[in-house]
Structures are given as structure tokens and as C-alpha cells.
Amino acid sequence: MTSELSLVLQVQKMDLRIAELEKEIASLPLELARIEKTLDSHKRRIEADKSGLTANVRDRKKLEGDIQTHQAKITKLKDQIMQAKTNEQLRAFQHEIEFAEGEIVKCEERTIELLSSAEPLEAAVKKAEAAFAEEKKQVDAQKDRTEARTTESKGFLLVAAEERKKAMAALTPQLVSMYERLRKKHKNGLVISEVPEGRCMGCQMMLRLQYFQQLRQATTVLCCESCSRMLFYNPPKDVAP
């Protein structure tokens, strides 16, 4: 491998590292958003359970009030019954009292139903709140870790960019422009290809024999005639040149 090419290889190594760091830095906020979304959905579930519980308490209070109203009405009807002048009036009052008593029974039955559903609801809310607090603690810790990781990666990125700049400065302007052009063409950033046994590992095409021979003795950078990647050939160490 020519010394020029080993310098380009250095730049490529830096660029691959930079791309990796940039990808990681970009992915971290998405990861944070995902965990926060999960936490939010759990919070909403607790709120739904809580509002169910609030509605339950409110309904029971209303039933209590209804019972009191019916009882007051019964008391009043019992007073009125004393003043009934005819059997018809008497029956009418009695009928009203029976109706109010029936309503009280219904209210009491509904209250019992509400009470029995309130208990598991209360337990569920309590449990979910405890789980949520624990989860929130973990999420906060994860957020801290993610933020620390981002800061660290940004630091690495600055270092890598500085190193790239240095490696780039050692290249000739021709090599710089060739490298940048190839980098645009090959999106994975791999612009240098090894040619073992005469095959370009970048595009898998065989080199012309004459061109391959040329590459083996090359003192300048040669490019693949098929994919344009910069080529290098290192003969196996156990074979005499």
C-alpha cells in the first residue's frame, strides 16, 4: 500500500467513526422520546383509574343525598297520613311511602355495588402509583445516562473531526477531491478497496490482468475501473514477491 493511500485510509477511518457517532447522537433523543412516551401512557392509565374512583365517590355521595331526600319525604308523608280524610287519600299516601321506601332500597343496593367496585379500584390505583413512581425513577436515571452519553459522544465527535482535519491536511488536493467525490458516490463511506487475487472487494469485479499487475507495483493511487474505488494490494506475507 502506498503511503498516500494509508493516509486516505486514516481519513476514511475517521469518517466512519464520525458517521457512527453522528448516528448515535441522532438516535439518543428518539430513544428518550420513546421511554417518555411509555411513561406517559402509564400515567394516563393511572389518571383514568383515578377519575373512575372519583366518579364512584361522587355517585355514592349523590345516592346518600337521594336517600336523605326520600327519608325526609317519608317523614312528611307520615305526618300527612294522620290528616287523611278518606281511605283513598290514605292509600295514596301509603302508596307514596312505599314508593319512596322502594327507591331507598334501590339507592342502598347501588351504593353496595359502588362500594364493592371502589375497593379493587383503590387498590389498583395505589399499586399503579407505586409502580409509576419506581418507573419514573428508572426513566430519570436512564435520561441522565442518555444525556451523559450524548455529551460524551459529542466530545468524541469533536476529537474525531479534529483528527480528520489533520489527516486530510496531509493529503494532496487531488486526493482530497478524489476522496470526497468517491464518498458522495459510495454512501457507506467505504471508498478504498482491497484487491486480493485480482478481485475488487468493493464491487466484486475482476481487474484486467495487466491492470492488476500494475497495481501490484503501483507507487501512485489506482482506482477500480468498474466502481472507481481506490485500490490496494498487499501480497500475502508467506509468498515471495
Q: How far apart are CA 21 and CA 158, in angstroms?
A: 10
Residue 204 within binding range of Zn ion, rule CB under 5 A: no
7 or 200: CB nearest Zn ion:
200
100 or 191: CB nearest Zn ion:
191
On whether the CB atoms of residues 95 and 84 are closer than 8 A, the answer is no
The interface with Zn ion within residues 182-201 (CB under 5 A) comprises: 200
Build a one-symbol-per-residue string for 149-188: x at contacts with Zn ion by CB under 5 A, - elsewhere. Answer: ----------------------------------------
Q: Contact with Zn ion (CB under 5 A): which of 49, 164, 202, 221?
A: 202
| Window contacting Zn ion (CB under 5 A); options: 55-63, 125-133, 178-186, 221-229 | 221-229
Closest separation between CB of residue 226 and Zn ion, Å? 5
74 or 230: CB nearest Zn ion:
230
Q: How far apart are CA 193 and CA 208, in angstroms?
A: 16
Binding residue count for Zn ion, defined by CB under 5 A: 6
25 or 227: CB nearest Zn ion:
227
What would the grid cell of residue 20 be?
457512527
Residue 90 within binding range of Zn ion, rule CB under 5 A: no
46 or 190: CB nearest Zn ion:
190
Phi, psi for residue 193 in degrees, rounded to 5:
-130, 140
Residue 207 within binding range of Zn ion, rule CB under 5 A: no
Q: Contact with Zn ion (CB under 5 A): which of 46, 176, 203, 223?
A: 203
Q: How far apart are CA 172 and CA 3, in angstroms?
A: 12
| Window contacting Zn ion (CB under 5 A); options: 3-11, 77-85, 174-182, 219-227 | 219-227
Q: How far apart are CA 195 and CA 60, in angstroms?
A: 83
Residue 128 within binding range of Zn ion, rule CB under 5 A: no
Closest separation between CB of residue 201 and Zn ion, Å? 8
Residue whose C-alpha cell is 501480497: 235
Residue 224 within binding range of Zn ion, rule CB under 5 A: yes
Binding site for Zn ion (CB under 5 A): 200, 202-203, 224, 226-227
